[in-house]
A and B are shown apart, each in its own frame.
Chain A
């Protein structure tokens, strides 16, 4: 079945540690997105990529990094520079600019 797979579902990070969230899609979509969601809040855009080897910062990119070496994959690294990383992270993809987004199941990151 086609879809987006995020892993892990739950992740715990120690202070000062970098962690990488995985996002893989087999929908053959060109565009991929990373959003952060805090409790009771909407989705805020971290990074997005419209094509392989190219990506743009969203509204809250500080403390995060991404890569897009393959069309299917768009991993997000939460660096130690992100001081408040505890949140629900959602990866999405779209076939084109004006098409619907499909979401992964999300990764819940907690700092311990």
Chain B
């Protein structure tokens, strides 16, 4: 079982809609969680970090963490075509390494 798993996608949403990206993790010791956005051919860039249960909002982005259920999600409100990218979930766990999921490709249709 992979340590970090994402809904594989691809995911398509119309412009202005809410995009929902999900991630589960297997290591209960995991303490920190990150969402990165990666455009084709580019390196990942950090969108959100979350460390405690609940919601964390930053502009159009909301990260949600539920440690009991071992999942973390990212909501993108008012999706724009420029949001079209691959979104990577990552966490640090007992192995003291930063582990990434396989990514979800999001397309926002104009």
Residues of A within 8 A of B (CB): 33, 35, 40-45, 48, 50, 56, 58, 88, 90, 92, 94, 97-101, 103-106
CB neighbours (8 Å) of A40 from chain B are 105
Chain A residues lying within 8 Å of B49, measured Cβ to Cβ, are: 100
The answer to whether A42 and B88 touch (CB under 8 A), given A50-B96, A92-B98, A94-B98, is: yes
Give 5 closest A-B pairs by Cβ, nearest first.
Answer: A42-B102, A98-B32, A103-B43, A43-B100, A42-B103
Q: Does B99 reach chain A (CB closer than 8 Å)?
A: yes
Q: What distance in Å separates the Cβ of B91 from its nearest Cβ neighbour in chain A? A: 10
Given contacts A33-B98, A100-B49, A101-B44, could you give 5 more A-B pairs where the C-beta distance is less than 8 Å? A33-B97, A40-B105, A90-B44, A92-B98, A97-B92
Partner of A103, one of B32, B44, B92: B44
- In the bound assembly, the distance between CA atoms of A42 and B5 in angstroms comes to 10
- The smallest beta-carbon distance between B23 and chain A, in angstroms, is 11
Distance in angstroms between the alpha carbons of A100 and B33 in the assembled complex: 9
Give the Cβ gap from B98 to chain A, nearest Cβ, in Å.
6
21 pairs, A vs B, C-beta closer than 8 Å: A41-B102, A41-B103, A42-B102, A43-B88, A44-B100, A45-B97, A50-B96, A56-B97, A90-B43, A92-B98, A94-B98, A98-B51, A98-B92, A100-B34, A100-B46, A101-B44, A101-B98, A103-B43, A103-B44, A103-B45, A105-B43
- CB neighbours (8 Å) of B42 from chain A are 105-106
A32–B96 Cα distance when bound, in Å, is: 12
Q: Within 8 Å CB of A50, what residues of B?
A: 96
Q: Nearest-CB distance from A48 to chain B (Å)?
A: 5
**CA–CA, A45 and B96, complex, Å:** 12
Cβ contacts under 8 Å, A41 to chain B: 102-103
- How far apart are the CA atoms of A94 and B46 in the complex, in Å? 12
Closest A residue to B88 by beta carbon equals A42
